Structure 1
């Protein structure tokens, strides 16, 4: 009788786990600007996934803007130089932004802790994390459906996103005001046979993101980022 009850309990737990996993796998991507969504695998930031970013703050703000505007809380860890005014100008809703500028040597523990309560977490690792710690964080992210944005290299990422060939406009011969910046955003993913790239205004004159009319040549490969020492 006891063995029968145990078997039924195991079946019940397995069914619950399957339902939870199904919800995570079927979860829609977070809202993302169309100019970036068309470059990303799955058409946006996938809950439970991590993304490796270059050091461009404009790129980070662009990825945080729409999730924060639609009510998703975003946390930023280990970026003391982040400018709140610049983030707001780029469309980030500061009322849904949590900043932890100096997490100290336990930055990974801090990141894992806020990943328990916030759906989007961005972090700039000051040092290399142990593989076991990264695996535990990845498991927690998948369980919670959290998107992790890492400035720098990171294992097991859904995609690597970086910007190149940035050019500012607006200055004349010693006069004028910077109005917009044109650059190439490139996304490399194991889901793509080739990296995807697009020429964007980031920011456009009004602070938003816009696609330029200039075509972008196919990208053979994205230069790998240096590992964090």
Structure 2
């Protein structure tokens, strides 16, 4: 994956030639230097369309998200499908096969799985050229460093998703949060079966829309990607035969009484 493999090598904390490799990474970044994004929004999968006010991620800002590889891949999928480069920093459990199942273009995906305490430097460098980034912090960032990174995001028109646990504190200057909760796996019976899909609730809040908005989705669905969960309908109780006959011939008042009773 070209730059992706170089990035993983250059930012590895175990390298003895780190300085030279970082310079090589910078040369790669200069080679693929892009202009500032003119897009106000990055698209989201239709299953997430109702989450955010403008149905997309604002560029030049950051969001706090749950550190779930499935949620991260689902949030990247639509932008990747439109040809945007994506980068994931500090998530070693995120797999390329799962990324491909979500429709992510692997040739435009940069993985830096283990940057160690250099995760912020890696994120800042990649923000120069990548419009959509995910970073899972391994250390707490200072407010001054977050401010500098936020300025770079605004300057380049990039969007950062910060994968943090809910108890880690709110990322400074965040536009909002996107959280996953209430997972419900399907496929297992009483001592048999295979996990096939998982229904979850995804809830978003933003600075401009502090009221929470939630959607229920399959993550993953049966095909390995995000899908809108079917609405569960509550069945009416079955009428006994005499009541059913009466309901079929009675006026609407009796029908209402039979269903409500």
**What TM-score do the two structures reach when normalised by structure 1?**
0.79
Shift of 1:89: 1.7
Q: Distance in 2 between matches of 1:192 and 1:198?
A: 16
Q: Specify every segment of 5 or more residues in structure 2 that has no aligned partner in the other structure, as ranges.
A: 1-35, 165-169, 233-261
- Structure 1 pair 64/33, CA: closer, same or farther in 2 (3 Å)? same
Q: Does 1:62 align with 2:79?
A: no
Shift of 1:175: 2.1
Q: Distance in 2 between matches of 1:80 and 1:204?
A: 23
* RMSD of Structure 2 on Structure 1 (CA): 1.7
Q: Does 1:184 align with 2:231?
A: no
Secondary structure of the residue that 2:58 maps to in structure 1?
Answer: coil
Shift of 1:193: 4.3
**How do residues 81-160 of structure 1 correspond to structure 2 at under 5 angstroms?**
81-152=93-164, 153-160=170-177
Q: Distance in 2 between matches of 1:208 and 1:28?
A: 26
Shift of 1:93: 1.8
Q: Distance in 1 between matches of 2:114 and 2:195?
A: 31
- Number of aligned pairs? 192
- Indicate conservation of the 8 Å contact 2:136/2:162, yes or no: yes
- Indicate conservation of the 8 Å contact 2:59/2:154, yes or no: yes
Match of 1:202 in 2: 219
Q: Compare 37-46 and 127-136 and name the one that shifted more.
A: 37-46
- Indicate conservation of the 8 Å contact 1:40/1:159, yes or no: no
| 1:6-51: CA deviation from partner (whole Å, max 9, x where unpaired) | xxxxxxxxxxxxxxxxx97x73311211221221132101110101
Secondary structure of the residue that 2:78 maps to in structure 1?
Answer: helix
Larger Rg: 2
**What TM-score do the two structures reach when normalised by structure 2?**
0.69
- Structure 1 pair 111/193, CA: closer, same or farther in 2 (3 Å)? closer
- Structure 1 pair 52/193, CA: closer, same or farther in 2 (3 Å)? closer
Match of 1:28 in 2: 40
Shift of 1:59: 0.6
